């Protein structure tokens, strides 16, 4: 069904998020006393550009949607997320948005919130079990497939690539890893994939990439499952004399994932070749949109939406709004049948983060 976009424009006083350190300490922003629905948003971390962008967008969209806001930061720790959920309950929130990084361990907390009739929207990740009102996410298998098609095309179907995996305790890490491997096996069997578990840790990713390049100096591609690995990857390549332009025979083709401003600058500079743009702005917007809808008693069904996405039914009682996440390249070309947009396209949130 088509989603209704007419939302309340009632003005609300929302605390400005002025210091990321306040989020990291787990302290909440002050809620307004205007009578607007009070919701809680747990930020999963504040140590990456992507999540810092999400943190920046959230209070703005809360204000636009007429919601009062409490926030916490679980710092990539499911135990802290569980504790933060208890804090939200004690504060009387009417709904909670979260991005659990351990998608299995969050199940007991979801069950408790369901029993208390507090709707939950998860952002970026999908719980392995349990019910939430809506999952706001992009198709993470498509991330891996897009990266595969780009690298497979650039390498003419042969050579070695390193995949710097995220955490496999996360549905995102599993989806991106499995899809990349499946796509390479099916479409580019001449490409050897060196998979490296990193648990979304940039230092670990850099160390493993350095080891792989020492043992395999003929590596010609790198797939980073998130921009957490961007800085370390470029530093390693620079140290080995491989951070050269795409026309140089020594160039190592790199695909990242997030669409942060730094990635777009690096694409323009020829340091990396592509990324998949996760919509940090839309994650914030639609997390709060669906929380408000849940509080108002609205329901949704699978199908196309009015914001260029598709709601799918993952399993009984679980819907996922899969937002658009385009492949981004310097030329906006098509790779392995996958269209891309140019890195300077003004529709990309990474080009509009003021």
Q: pLDDT band for position 300 (50/70/90)?
A: very high
Residue 27 has pLDDT above 80, yes or no: no
Integer CA distances (angstroms), 144 to 39, 86, 139, 176, 226, in order: 33, 35, 9, 4, 11
Number of Cβ atoms within 10 Å of the Cβ of 86: 11
How far apart, in whole angstroms, are the C-alpha atoms of residue 340 and residue 328?
5
Model pLDDT, residue 328: 98
Mean pLDDT of 155-163: 98
Query: Could you tell me the sign of the dihedral formed by the alpha carbons of 248, 249, 251, 255, in that order?
Result: positive
Q: Does pTM top 0.75 for this prediction?
A: yes
Do residues 12 and 32 lie in contact, with contact meaning Cβ atoms separated by under 8 Å? yes
How far apart, in whole angstroms, are the C-alpha atoms of residue 169 and residue 145?
20
Question: Token pair of 263, please?
Answer: 């990635």
Q: Which residue is listed with tokens 């804090």? A: 87
How far apart, in whole angstroms, are the C-alpha atoms of residue 278 and residue 227?
11
Helix (H) or strand (E) holding 148: helix 140-154
Residue 129 has pLDDT above 60, yes or no: yes
Query: Could you tell me the sign of the dihedral formed by the alpha carbons of 46, 278, 336, 184, in that order?
Result: positive
Closest CA to 73 of 61, 89, 85, 91: 85
Model pLDDT, residue 33: 52
Mean pLDDT of 126-142: 95
- Across the chain, how many H-helices and E-strands are there? 10, 16
How far apart, in whole angstroms, are the C-alpha atoms of residue 141 and residue 80?
28
Tens of pLDDT, residue by residue over 175-193, are 999 999 999 999 999 999 9
């Amino acid at each position: 069904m088509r989603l209704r976009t007419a939302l309340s424009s009632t003005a609300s006083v929302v605390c400005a998020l002025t210091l990321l350190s306040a989020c990291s300490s787990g302290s909440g922003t002050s809620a307004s006393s205007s009578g607007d629905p009070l919701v809680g948003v747990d930020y999963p971390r504040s140590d990456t550009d992507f999540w810092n962008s999400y943190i920046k967008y959230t209070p703005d969209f809360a204000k636009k949607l007429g919601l009062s806001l409490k926030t916490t930061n679980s710092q990539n720790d499911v135990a802290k997320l569980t504790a933060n959920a208890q804090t939200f309950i004690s504060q009387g929130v009417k709904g909670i948005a979260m991005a659990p990084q351990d998608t299995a361990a969050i199940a007991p907390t979801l069950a408790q919130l369901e029993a208390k009739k507090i709707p939950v929207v998860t952002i970026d990740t999908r719980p392995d079990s349990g019910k939430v009102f809506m999952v706001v996410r992009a198709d993470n298998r498509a991330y891996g497939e897009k990266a595969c098609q780009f690298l497979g095309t650039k390498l003419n179907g042969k050579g070695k690539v390193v995949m710097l995996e995220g955490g496999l305790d996360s549905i995102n890490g599993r989806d991106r890893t499995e899809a990349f491997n499946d796509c390479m096996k099916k479409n580019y069997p001449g490409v050897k994939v060196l998979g490296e578990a990193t648990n979304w840790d940039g230092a670990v990713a850099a160390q493993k990439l350095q080891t792989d390049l020492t043992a395999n100096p003929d590596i010609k591609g790198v797939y980073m499952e998130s921009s957490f690995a961007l800085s370390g990857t470029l530093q390693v390549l620079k140290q080995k004399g491989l951070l050269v332009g795409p026309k140089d025979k020594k160039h190592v083709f790199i695909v990242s994932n997030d669409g942060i401003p730094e990635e777009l600058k690096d694409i323009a500079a020829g340091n990396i070749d592509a990324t998949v743009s996760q919509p940090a702005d839309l994650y914030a917007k639609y997390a709060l949109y669906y929380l408000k809808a849940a509080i108002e008693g609205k329901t949704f069904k699978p199908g196309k939406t009015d914001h260029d996405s598709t709601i799918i039914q993952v399993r009984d009682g679980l819907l996922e709004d899969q937002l658009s996440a385009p492949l981004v390249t310097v030329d906006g070309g098509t790779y392995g049948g996958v269209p891309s947009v140019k890195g300077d396209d003004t529709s990309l949130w990474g080009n509009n983060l003021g």
